[in-house]
Amino acid sequence: MANELVEKKESAVAAIEGHELGDIIKPLIKEIHLFDSYIAGTTHLEDSSVLESIKVGDVLTLQREENKFDNNAILILNEDKKKLGYVPEKDNIVFARLMDAGKLLKAKITQINQKGSFKQISVGIYLVDF
């Protein structure tokens, strides 16, 4: 009976029962490093105190924005959804197209340099793939 078909009683629901959905999906997520850039527009923030709480390694949210100056504008937000600035206009066209196609992108702070009164914040931009 080696070639006999055996019905397995375990369902997908039974396999995930007792586990958080995030615990199941997390191992399937891949972060693909796309590009290194910086946060533009930090000197124009209404509340620049948000820059005091960031640190290297922070994961940032990227969000498309309707913007009369740049059709491909992408906001960069901290974990509290407060505005840090933008993906630079010279870098954003491909990322905007990916996001408009439904792809999830995020950024991570790689370096923070104080240049006088100006903070230069370097970021890596990642595609989150499943």
Which residues partner with 40 through β-bridges?
86
Query: Residue 7: what pLDDT?
Result: 56
- Order of strands across the sheet that contains 104-115: 30-38, 118-129, 104-115, 59-64, 74-77, 83-86
The structural domains of the chain, ordered by start, are 29-129 (3.30.70.2330)
pLDDT reading at 26 higher than 70: no
Provide the whole-model pTM.
0.78
- When pLDDT is cut at 50, 70 and 90, the band that residue 15 belongs to is low
Is the predicted pLDDT of residue 20 greater than 70, yes or no?
no
Model pLDDT, residue 42:
94
86 bridge partner residues: 40, 75
pLDDT band at residue 37 using 50, 70 and 90 as cut-offs: very high
Give residue-wise pLDDT tens across range 49-108: 999 999 999 999 999 999 999 999 999 999 999 999 999 999 999 999 999 999 999 999
In this prediction, residues 29-35 reach a mean pLDDT of 91
The per-residue pLDDT of the chain, averaged, comes to: 87
